[in-house]
């Protein structure tokens, strides 16, 4: 059999017999002549033929051998890349038939119910907009990786089965079979591991990290899991972190999204106070023209207060008795000038936190970290940690006794940044298999019940909610 060629290569193969493989994207029956649009990963090409094409249905997978021909000028189709040619079918083999699809895939798809798109996500991804978003996402991640590797960063994978790493959300917990009554937590971020890697002397770490947070979905946040570019550096100032991040995304936008333009460079930096006074929010949308889909307004917000008053929702911190909750997370360093205020007036202490804002969305956050055991201990006290809770983080306090470099980092959200750059209405539009707003996974029916035997092995019992718990 002749070698398969891609649809886009037909342009270079005029007057040659080629073999193409792909899906029947569209079909037009003109009686004696049938036209189909054949789609593969590289695009679409028109196939023309008679009886050989008669029985084909939309989305059948076929193998077509035929002669590539120039189209006369008046029949060219400028809307597709291969519009100057067509393929005269000689032999067609159906590799598999398709049923009628549950929804059209030749539109952008926003009009279709999201639950149905999600149930048949493998069809939804055939939609050119979705396929394009996933390809761009892959390019963005590769770009980030190359940029950081060139600058002496080390990519490290950290565990998914781990202990609680609070980032202000509820944990997902996983029961242990081997240790009865004990649980792992899925990481809300690799925060503690990346700090431990600084103690370990790597100095420059990054990871395209999956994070798990059991929080209510919003359009700029997926339910359950999301991906962030997690990075950490030793012996740096806050300015070093901001500068590196700014250079990375400025270059990335220029190279991968040349049609986009930035409202302002260098990106403006505001103190938390300033930005609240001026815009009434800590994530201002600074675009000059909010209807301009090509405009990207990045900015920084810094000088946050280290603590906020603790509210009832801060149940995951401390004993619930303390007055203070970290505004970022409990590893953020206080501004060195404000350390004396930790005892006197904690709410006045500034934290070395930085938030990255794009078109009104918070797309990343980070900080310089505490690297002194005593200061970390004091912050644990202020957020009301009990002795027991402190014990959960003893490994950090212990690590900090063995020579720890000053360090800090940031974690820009990959889904969120891509959503904002592409002007998509939700992060789910840039994720392959997102969990729906109601917590249902794409395609696969999770969460689902498990076999009684599995529960038994895990030493778990499900208590019916209408029965009284003992």
Shortest reach from residue 49's CB to ligand ASP, in Å = 55
Question: Which two three-digit tokens encode residue 354?
Answer: 């930085």
Question: Which two three-digit tokens encode residue 308?
Answer: 């906020």
How far is the C-alpha of 82 from the C-alpha of 434, rounded, in Å?
Answer: 33
Count of CB atoms situated within 10 Å of the CB of 215: 14
How far is the C-alpha of 211 from the C-alpha of 226, rounded, in Å?
Answer: 5
- 361 contacts: CB under 8 Å, gap ≥ 6: 220, 283, 416, 419, 420
Q: Which is nearer to ligand ASP, 167 or 282 (CB)?
A: 167
Binding-site residue numbers for L-aspartate are: 167, 213, 328, 369
Nearest to 414 by CA among 155, 138, 185, 195: 138
Question: Which two three-digit tokens encode residue 464?
Answer: 């019916």
Q: Which is nearer to ligand ASP, 20 or 411 (CB)?
A: 411
Phi/psi class of residue 360: alpha, beta or left (left: φ > 0; alpha: ψ in -120 to 50)? left
Shortest reach from residue 179's CB to ligand ASP, in Å = 27
**Contact status, residue 380 vs residue 322, Cβ threshold 8 Å:** no
Q: Which is nearer to ligand ASP, 62 or 241 (CB)?
A: 241
Q: Which is nearer to ligand ASP, 76 or 392 (CB)?
A: 392
Shortest reach from residue 231's CB to ligand ASP, in Å = 7
Instruction: With contacts defined by CB under 6 A, name the span among 53-61, 179-187, 361-369, 430-438 that binds ligand ASP.
Output: 361-369
Count of CB atoms situated within 10 Å of the CB of 450: 12
Residue located via tokens 């806050």: 238
- Position among 65, 82, 189, 376 found at the interface with ligand ASP (CB under 6 A): 189
First to last CA, the chain: 70
Shortest reach from residue 459's CB to ligand ASP, in Å = 32
Q: Which is nearer to ligand ASP, 147 or 331 (CB)?
A: 331
Q: Which is nearer to ligand ASP, 222 or 411 (CB)?
A: 411
Q: Which is nearer to ligand ASP, 44 or 185 (CB)?
A: 185
The angle at the Cα of 55, spanning 51 to 56, to the nearest 5 degrees, equals 110
Nearest to 349 by CA among 389, 307, 384: 307
Query: Looking at the DSSP assignment, which residues form a beta bridge with residue 354?
Result: 302, 366
Nearest to 63 by CA among 5, 103, 120: 5
> What sign has the CA pseudo-torsion 408, 278, 263, 283?
positive
Instruction: With contacts defined by CB under 6 A, name the span among 94-102, 147-155, 239-247, 359-367 that binds ligand ASP.
Output: 359-367
Shortest reach from residue 370's CB to ligand ASP, in Å = 12
Angle at which helices 238-256 and 128-150 cross, to 10°: 140
Query: Looking at the DSSP assignment, which residues form a beta bridge with residue 21?
Result: 63
Shortest reach from residue 366's CB to ligand ASP, in Å = 4
**Contact status, residue 306 vs residue 346, Cβ threshold 8 Å:** yes
Shortest reach from residue 145's CB to ligand ASP, in Å = 18
Q: Which is nearer to ligand ASP, 207 or 367 (CB)?
A: 367
Q: Tell me the number of residues near ligand ASP by CB under 6 A.
A: 9
**Contact status, residue 91 vs residue 68, Cβ threshold 8 Å:** no
Q: Which is nearer to ligand ASP, 191 or 310 (CB)?
A: 191
Question: Which two three-digit tokens encode residue 159?
Answer: 């565990």
Binding-site residue numbers for ATP are: 213-215, 362, 413-416
Shortest reach from residue 238's CB to ligand ASP, in Å = 12
Span 244-303, contacts to ligand ASP by CB under 6 A: none
**Contact status, residue 206 vs residue 230, Cβ threshold 8 Å:** yes
Span 383-442, contacts to ligand ASP by CB under 6 A: 409-411
Shortest reach from residue 191's CB to ligand ASP, in Å = 4
- 113 contacts: CB under 8 Å, gap ≥ 6: none
Shortest reach from residue 412's CB to ligand ASP, in Å = 9
Write phi, then psi, for 115 (nearest 5 degrees).
Answer: -65, -40
Instruction: Mark 363-382 with x for binding to ligand ASP (rule: CB under 6 A) and - for no binding.
Output: --xxx---------------
167 binds ligand ASP (CB under 6 A): yes
Q: Which is nearer to ligand ASP, 379 or 410 (CB)?
A: 410
Binding site for ligand ASP (CB under 6 A): 167, 189, 191, 365-367, 409-411
């Amino acid at each position: 059999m002749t070698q398969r060629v891609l649809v886009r290569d037909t342009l270079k193969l005029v007057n040659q017999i080629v073999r193409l493989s792909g899906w029947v994207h569209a079909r037009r029956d003109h009686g004696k002549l049938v036209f189909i649009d054949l789609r593969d990963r590289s695009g679409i090409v028109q196939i023309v033929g008679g009886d050989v094409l008669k029985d084909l249905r939309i989305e059948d997978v076929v193998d077509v051998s035929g002669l590539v021909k120039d189209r006369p000028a008046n029949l060219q189709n400028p809307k597709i890349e291969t519009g100057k040619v067509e393929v005269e079918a000689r032999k067609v083999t159906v590799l598999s038939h398709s049923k009628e699809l549950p929804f059209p895939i030749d539109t952008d798809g926003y009009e279709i119910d999201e639950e149905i798109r999600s149930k048949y996500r493998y069809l939804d991804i055939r939609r050119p907009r979705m396929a394009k978003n996933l390809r761009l996402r892959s390019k963005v991640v590769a770009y980030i990786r190359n940029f950081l590797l060139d600058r002496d960063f080390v990519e490290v994978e950290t565990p998914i089965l781990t202990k609680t790493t609070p980032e202000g959300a509820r944990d997902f917990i996983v029961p242990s079979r081997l240790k009865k009554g004990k649980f792992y937590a899925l990481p809300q971020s690799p925060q503690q591991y990346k700090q431990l890697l600084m103690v370990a002397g790597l100095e420059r770490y990054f990871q395209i990290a999956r994070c798990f947070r059991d929080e209510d979905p919003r359009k700029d946040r997926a339910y359950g899991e999301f991906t962030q570019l997690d990075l950490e550096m030793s012996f740096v100032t806050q300015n070093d972190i901001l500068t590196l991040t700014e250079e990375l995304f400025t270059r990335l936008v220029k190279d991968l999204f040349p049609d986009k333009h930035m409202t302002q460079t260098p990106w403006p930096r505001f103190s938390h106070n300033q930005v609240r006074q001026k815009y009434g929010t800590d994530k201002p949308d600074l675009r000059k023209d909010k209807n301009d889909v090509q405009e990207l307004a990045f900015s920084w917000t810094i000088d946050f207060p280290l603590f906020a008053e603790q509210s009832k929702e801060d149940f995951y911190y401390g004993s619930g008795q303390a007055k203070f909750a970290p505004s970022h997370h409990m590893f953020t360093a206080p501004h060195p000038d404000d350390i004396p205020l930790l005892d006197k007036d904690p709410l006045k202490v500034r934290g070395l936190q930085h938030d990255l804002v794009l078109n009104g969305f918070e797309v990343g956050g980070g900080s310089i970290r505490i690297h002194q055991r005593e200061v970390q201990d004091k912050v644990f006290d202020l957020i009301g940690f009990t002795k027991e809770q402190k014990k959960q983080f003893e490994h950090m306090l212990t690590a900090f006794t063995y020579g720890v470099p000053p360090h800090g980092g940031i974690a820009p959200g990959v889904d969120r940044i891509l959503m904002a750059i592409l002007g998509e209405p939700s992060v789910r539009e840039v994720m392959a298999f997102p969990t729906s707003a109601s917590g249902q996974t794409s395609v696969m029916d999770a969460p689902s019940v498990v076999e009684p035997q599995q529960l038994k092995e895990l030493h778990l019992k499900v208590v019916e909610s209408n029965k009284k718990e003992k």
